[in-house]
Amino acid sequence: MSRNKETFRAVRERVGITQAAMARMMGVSQRSVRYWEDADSMRNPPEEAWSILDDALREQQRGIAFALQKVDEIIEAAGDEPDAVTLPYWLSEGEYLQWSTDSRLGAAGDWRMANANNMALAIRLEERGITVRWASGNPARPSKA
């Protein structure tokens, strides 16, 4: 993977890390992260920032592989591929913290990262011909079809 400003921003957005979150993780200002991504700036993302993105991307890929394995187990047990799968889409940090299994288990990440992971999973499911439906992550909120 090319280590340029465009790739840095694309991967950061792909894994759902905001500039503010990256700044917090790095202990720098959000302005520093903006400079790393600014084509007119001479500043480049430091190796530690790339390491954070590399780790987040690996974690996303592990999560997708795990989810696809679970789908395969369900297909094997049912003997047929589902027409559709419903994935949660978190509308806010508060909703994620209240309703996410990951947050209750103290898992790393935030609601934007969870949404990015589910969007990446949706692409893989749709490649297999499985329709993806989105629902609020809050199980108490009825989903509108």
pLDDT in tens, 96-130: 888 876 655 555 568 899 999 999 999 999 999 99
Query: How many CA atoms, within 13 angstroms, populate the side-chain half-sphere of residue 127?
Result: 7
Inform me whether the pLDDT recorded for 85 exceeds 90.
no
Residue 57 pLDDT:
95
Mean pLDDT calculated for residue range 42-67: 95
Q: Flag whether pLDDT at 77 surpasses 80.
A: yes
Q: Which residues pair with 73 in a beta bridge?
A: none
3-state secondary structure 39-78: CCCCCCCCHHHHHHHHHHHHHHHHHHHHHHHHHHHHHHHH
Q: How confident is the model at residue 143 (pLDDT cuts 50, 70, 90)?
A: low
In DSSP notation, 28-39 reads S-HHHHHHHH-T
* Domain spans in the chain, listed from the N-terminal domain onward: 1-66, 81-145
The class that CATH gives domain 1-66 is: mainly alpha
Residue whose entry in the numeric block shows the structure tokens 């990440």: 109
User: Do residues 85 and 124 touch, judged by C-beta distance below 8 A?
Assistant: no
